[in-house]
Homo-oligomer: A and B are copies of this chain.
Amino acid sequence: MKDYSSASLDEVALPTVMQALSDPGRIAILQALLENGELACNEIPLKVAKATVSHHFAILREAGLLQTRTSGTKCLSSIPMDAVESHFPGLLALVKNSGMGTI
């Protein structure tokens, strides 16, 4: 389908990561992935158009917070847990424990 490229966290500064996490929809995406491990775009309940969802996934990839692999017509995304945890320890715990109501 497409060869997805994520940013390496070595090259991502904190403001970029924070910017990526400043959208409630993207927080919801990460929370869903923390729960389920690996999900396709359409398996995450966001009330926005699919073009917007695709955009949010791209932002997260560019921040190094998402890795995506293709599988048939789907693209399955997950969080590179070890890399995120080593570069930004505690960040995922903050995301996980953030209750935000429904998006």
Interface size band for A: 20 to 34
A23 at interface, CB cutoff 8 A: yes
Q: What is the interface of chain A mostly: helix, strand, loop, or mixed?
A: helix
Chain A interface residues toward B at CB < 8 A? 13-16, 18-19, 21-24, 27, 88-91, 93-95, 98, 100
**Is B15's CB under 8 angstroms from A21's CB?**
yes
CA–CA, A83 to B14, complex, Å? 22
CA–CA, A8 to B16, complex, Å? 25
> Which of these, B13, B90, B98, contacts A93 with CB under 8 Å?
B90
B residues less than 8 Å from A93 (CB atoms): 89-90
**Is A98's CB under 8 angstroms from B14's CB?**
yes
